[in-house]
Structure 1
Amino acid sequence: MAHNDDEQGRPKTLAEKIDKLFKSIRRSGEPEATYREVANAIVARGGTISASYIWQLRTGVKDNPTMRHLQALADYFGISPAYFLDEDKSKEIDSQLDHLVAVRDSGVRTMALRAAGLSPAGLQIVNDLIEREHQRERDLIEREHEREHDIQAAGGETGSSSAGQD
């Protein structure tokens, strides 16, 4: 489950929220917008902001923007400015951003579209299947690592005993 808090339970900082917007809101296969692109788009809409100021906000160098700047960023990314100010709204939008990122992947998008209309019980079955497949793949990777380790260990022993025979 996506949360708007970090691992220690503290609310996300303004910088973390802006960073998430940059990472989340873009087309599939396209890179993140540049600071210059965002600044130019805001200026084209009548706002005033510089690329360097956006960078400062995203990296936490600056953390007290004007409401005008928050509104301009919110408008650019297509979200409510409440994302920056209200923790409940921020958590709600954060969850939507997590969903957007997941759906952006074409395989996930196709699966999500096919799951649309399933009953809650049907969705739970799909979720359980996905979780089991994740576990199966993790187990396969772990077994492969163990096998590689065993081969290396056996090769090391063989190499040392062969060396003594020469």
Structure 2
Amino acid sequence: MPDVHDSERGGRPVTGSLAHRIDYLFKAVQPKGREYSYEEVARGCEALTAGTFSKTYVWQLRTGQRDNPTKRHLEALSAFFGVPVAYFFDDQVVEDVNAQLALVLALRDADVRDIALRAVHLDGAGRRSLARIVTEISRLQRSGADGATAPESG
């Protein structure tokens, strides 16, 4: 979900509209390695609620064409995507859940997963050293992006 900053909240990212939240769930929750189709979400939500839920309605919610779903629809979407119902209206819950989903997204990358799995076998001192190394590399990359060059290793 794109971060929108609100100066009244001290520059902290705010969480966006219902459509942004649903769109983010489509992008982040992908157990099949791809986004769910509108049909899959609609069928899954129907099965969870024993009520009607069309793929067009799911599309309308995701694109902002509709923005006032019923409680039953929000409950079905939350159950389908595995998030609390409060995700759709509580900014703090959105921030907490999105942080967890960002970790899941990062772990889809084989290199990130490899580093994380190797770190599990390090002792506390080794993990702290690895964290410092990653922090330093990140700092060097940021300064390189700002026009500075990273020192070359010898």
For the aligned pair, the TM-score class normalised by the smaller chain equals 0.7 to 0.9
User: Which of 2, 10, 13 is 2:17 aligned to?
Assistant: 13
Instruction: Give 1 or 2 for the bigger CA radius of gyration.
Output: 1
- TM-score, normalised to structure 2, is 0.74
Opposite residue 6 of structure 1, the aligned amino acid is: V
Q: Quick one: distance in 1 between partners of 2:65 and 2:126?
A: 47
* 1:36 equivalenced with 2:34 (yes/no): no
Comparing 96-105 with 7-16, greater Cα deviation is found at 7-16
Superposition deviation, residue 37 in structure 1: 0.9
Comparing 100-109 with 14-23, greater Cα deviation is found at 100-109
The corresponding residue for 2:151 is none
Off by >6 Å, runs of 4+ in structure 1: none
Consecutive unaligned residues in structure 2, runs of 5 or more: 7-12, 149-154
* 1:54 equivalenced with 2:58 (yes/no): yes
Comparing 122-131 with 95-104, greater Cα deviation is found at 122-131
**Relative contact order: is structure 1 or structure 2 higher (C-alpha 8 Å, sep ≥ 6)?**
1
CA 1:41/1:112 → structure 2, altered by over 3 Å: closer, same or farther? Answer: same
Identity of aligned residues (%): 38
- Partner secondary structure for residue 79 of structure 1: coil
Consecutive unaligned residues in structure 1, runs of 5 or more: 144-166
Superposition deviation, residue 136 in structure 1: 5.5
CA 1:76/1:21 → structure 2, altered by over 3 Å: closer, same or farther? Answer: same
The corresponding residue for 1:126 is 130
Task: State the Cα deviation string for residues 108-142 of structure 1 (Å, max 9, x = none).
Answer: 122222223753x65453234234445656749x7
Any conservation in 2 of the 1:4–1:94 contact (CA below 8 Å)? no
- Partner secondary structure for residue 112 of structure 2: helix
- TM-score, normalised to structure 1, is 0.69
CA 1:137/1:37 → structure 2, altered by over 3 Å: closer, same or farther? Answer: same
Opposite residue 41 of structure 1, the aligned amino acid is: G
Any conservation in 1 of the 2:22–2:62 contact (CA below 8 Å)? yes
Q: Output the aligned Cα RMSD.
A: 2.9
Structure number with the higher helix fraction is: 1
**Matched pairs, number:** 139
The corresponding residue for 2:78 is 74
- Partner secondary structure for residue 64 of structure 1: coil
